[in-house]
Amino acid sequence: MKPSHIEHIGIAVKQLDEAILYYEKLLGTKCYAIEEVKDQKVKTAFFKVGQTKIELLESTDPEGPVGKFIEKKGEGIHHIAFAVEGLESALEEVREAGIKLIDEHPRMGAEGLHIAFIHPKSTFGVLTELCENKNI
């Protein structure tokens, strides 16, 4: 597996609206998409920074992954996502290397990407996402 780039960095925030205003100023660009990902219990907002995106994540349920993260650690960087080609075979490589997967198989994430997470206990504390855009 050789990721082509950092697809996005996920940042957990308490209030999407406030965080959007801050990032619009910081990056000098408008938030280009807001999307709720119901099965992940989050509302997301996206910015482009070159080839990489910033994904702001507001929890829609205190028991969801971002709700629990904020409760425990506060706001901040939640995950890093690498773009790969051939997500299924990338996951097979990860599995064979003895690294713990959260998602054994790809599932649909925000922006129609196929995604899978690797457990932070296997990645030196960084929740890691692999994603593939099959529309390019």
List residues near ligand CMX by CB under 6 A: 10, 37, 40, 42, 44, 55, 57, 65-66, 68-69, 72, 78-79, 102, 109-110, 117, 119-120, 125, 127
Contact predicate 3/23, CB 8 Å: no
Q: How far is the CB of 126 from ligand CMX (least distance, A)?
A: 6
| Closer of 10 and 106 to ligand CMX (Cβ) | 10
Q: Which residue is nearest to ligand CMX (CB)?
A: 65
Instruction: Name residues whose C-beta falls within 8 Å of residue 41's C-beta, 6 or more positions apart in sequence.
Output: 59, 60, 61, 63, 64, 65, 66, 67
| Closer of 28 and 35 to ligand CMX (Cβ) | 35
| Closer of 3 and 120 to ligand CMX (Cβ) | 120
Q: Specify which residues 36 forms β-bridges with.
A: 43
Q: Helix or strand or coil: residue 27? A: helix
